[in-house]
Structures are given as structure tokens and as C-alpha cells.
Structure 1
Amino acid sequence: MKDKIITKASDMFLNLGFKSVTMDDLASEMGISKKTIYTHFQNKTKLVEATADHLFYQINDGINAILREQLDPIEELYAIKTFVMHHLKNEKAAPQYQLQKYYPKIHEILKAKQFDVFQDCVIDNLNRGIEKGVFRKNIDIEFISRIYFIGTISIKDKEMFPVEMFPVPKLMDNYLEYHILGITTEKGRTILNNLIKEHQV
């Protein structure tokens, strides 16, 4: 039952937001009593913590599966972006922003875990890109990997990037293109342009 609660809560939090969903909403949606939820989770904060962990590991597993495919480095970035967007329901309820605002301690722990995974993934991607001649040899890998991570977090700030002005899918596409254009060679730009055309179809 605990796993079922986490799965349903994850889905509702992603669709409606961490703040919006109450324990009553979750119990009603699952057709169980609120007491049953409290048997497994002391309070909503504990449930949010469990669902944040659950989502982190799900996304991490999916990204690792993509990394094992050993795609072209630029194609890999697009594949990861597409997977994350699909998994997070296009972030229509801005879950990460709500997590940061209403559950800051959980957000900080999650952010640290994300950074560790992100660093390994992006540094490997950058190194392979340089080896394959699609990224410039003179880029500062540590700087690029960190600035890219900060950007992926910051563009989820709905006060800075309101959804009505910046629809999430377009925002993510623009940011990824911005990141890649700053580090590509001519060979890399050709691959990027082809991918952009494919995604526009």
C-alpha cells in the first residue's frame, strides 16, 4: 500500500502541484481513508519527501538507460530532455518551483542529489563531445557543467519565466539550444540544426 500511495501521490503532485494536493484529495482519489495514509506517512511533509525521492530515482534510472545507448553527445542531450519532460508531465504544475517554495529543506537535499548525478552525466557528455569533434576543445568543462545545472534549475522559476510567456516545452528547447550553441563546433552545429528540424516536424 505504501508504494501505491507514493505512486499516486507522485502523479497528483506532478499534475496539480505539491502545495495544491491535500491528504484528503489523495485519500479520495485512491478510495482509501486518510488514516490509511497516515499509517505509512506521519504527515504530508514525509509524503512529499518520499515522492521526491521516488521521482528522483525513476528519472535517474531513465537517464542511465539513455546513457547506456551511447548516442551522439548532442542527440543524447535531446533524448534526456525529452524523457524528463515526458516523465514530469511537462512540469505544468511547476512541481520543482513549488517544492522549493513550500518544502525548502526537501528541495535542498534533492538539489544536492541532482547535482551529483548531473555533474557526472554532463561532464561525461562534454568529454565525449570534445572527443567526437562536436564540442569545442577549449571549453572549461567544470564551468560549463555547473552553469548548465544552475540554468536548468533557474528556468523553472515561474516568477522569472511565467508559463503564459514561456510555455515549458518551448522554454526547455530554447535553453538546451542556448547551451549547445555556446559550445559546439561547425560539425556540432550541423547535428544540432538537423535535430531542431526533426523536433519541429
Structure 2
Amino acid sequence: MENNQSPVEIRERLLHTALLAFNEKGAKFTLEDISRTLNISKKTIYTVFSGKKELIEEMIDEGFREVKEEESYIVADTRLNTLEKIRKMVIVIPERYQAMDFRKFATLKESYPELYQRIEEQIEREWDLTIELLEKGMEEGVLRRFSIPVFKIMIEATMERLLERDEREGFEYMEALEEMMDIVIKGIETKGGEKEGKD
């Protein structure tokens, strides 16, 4: 790996392996776990990342960059009506993160509280595309008039609470997001909204 791959390829493999290790152990995974899995030296890891904290930070940022890409695809998808776009936009999870045990992110609160705060900040920012869709839904008459700031706060608070939940609560993160959106959409759509929202 060290001799045959470019720095970009090494970085991508490190991020992918860190994601798998984090999914298994949360913040308790070690750089030794990464080096052993990839059969490389820790020295090689340090040529790309200054340490575990930076590796996790980049893993988080990469995930949210992929979320933004997915959101752009959703907005441009002419097969989806406005309500369908809103549903997908609010709970979008990139494909390689869909099998993630999101409860593991709670392990960051103790070890790397600033990184956990970074996740919360990411959840709370860059709502512009979603807000545009909500406003479009109101204009089309498929959504009733409601307070978008209140909607935003409700979604953010639910997502953040789901990250902190106890694993004994018996539901998966993606399932919980889907259920949340069922409840939310039923509360904001007008009667017959699904049909009226077709592009």
C-alpha cells in the first residue's frame, strides 16, 4: 500500500478504515487498529493525519461533504415531487454511512467534545436548499403555512437526541429518521398534497 498508492488513495483508504473501526469501537479505536488492518506503519498514517483526532475530524467532515452532494442530486432529480424531495433532503445519509451505528458518535462527547460539537454544528447549518423546498411546497399548496424556523429546530433537536440515545431503546437511527419524517410530513402537508406536488 505504502509504495504502490498515491497520497490521495492512501488518505481515502485511511478514512474508509477509520469509519469501519469507529463503527465497531466508537472513539476507542486506535491508530494501531488502522495500521494493523491496512498492514501499514503508524508512521505512514502520520504522513497524512497528525493523529487520531484529525482523522476522526476529517471522517466527520467528509461525511457532511457527501451529504451536501447528495442534497444537490435530490434537488435536481426531476422524478421526485416537492414532498419527496423534502423527505429525502431532511434525512439524507450517504450510501457508505447508511450501515453506520450512529450511537457510536455519542462516544465522542467524552473523548473529543469539540468534535461532537462539530457534528451538532453541521446538523444546524446549511439549510438553504431545504428551506427553499419548504417555501416551494407552500407556494404549490402541498404544504400548509407553518414556521420554518420552528420546523428547523424540531428536526435538529430530534437528530441530536437520536445520536445520544441508549442502544437499549430498540430502534436504528435510519428507522427513527424515517419515522420522524412520517410524523412531520403528515403534520405539514395539505390534504392530497402528494398528488398536487407532482412535478
Residue 3 (structure 2) aligns with: none
CA distance in 2, matches of 1:191, 1:24: 55
2:25–2:104 CA contact under 8 A, matched in 1: yes
- Counterpart selection for 1:116 from 125, 138, 142: 125
2:106–2:116 CA contact under 8 A, matched in 1: no
2:83–2:194 CA contact under 8 A, matched in 1: no
Unaligned stretches of 5+ residues in structure 2 = 1-9
1:130–1:136 CA contact under 8 A, matched in 2: yes
TM-score, normalised to structure 2's length? 0.79
Q: Deviations over 1:27-69 (max 9, x none)?
A: 1111111221123222211111111111111221112211222
TM-score, normalised to structure 1's length? 0.79
Percent identity of equivalent pairs: 22
- Counterpart selection for 2:11 from 2, 23, 41: 2
CA distance in 2, matches of 1:80, 1:90: 18
Deviation at 1:189, TM superposition (A): 6.3
Distance change in 2, residues 1:143/1:110 (3 Å): same
CA distance in 1, matches of 2:70, 2:110: 27
Distance change in 2, residues 1:178/1:67 (3 Å): same
CA distance in 1, matches of 2:129, 2:19: 25
Residue 196 (structure 1) aligns with: none
2:32–2:42 CA contact under 8 A, matched in 1: yes
Summarize the alignment of residues 2-41 of structure 1 with structure 2, pairs less than 5 Å apart. 2-13=11-22, 15-41=23-49
CA distance in 1, matches of 2:123, 2:90: 15
Unaligned stretches of 5+ residues in structure 1 = 193-201
- Counterpart selection for 1:49 from 46, 57, 77: 57
Residue 186 (structure 2) aligns with: 181
SS in 2 for 1:7: helix
- Counterpart selection for 2:112 from 103, 112, 133: 103
Residue 135 (structure 1) aligns with: 143
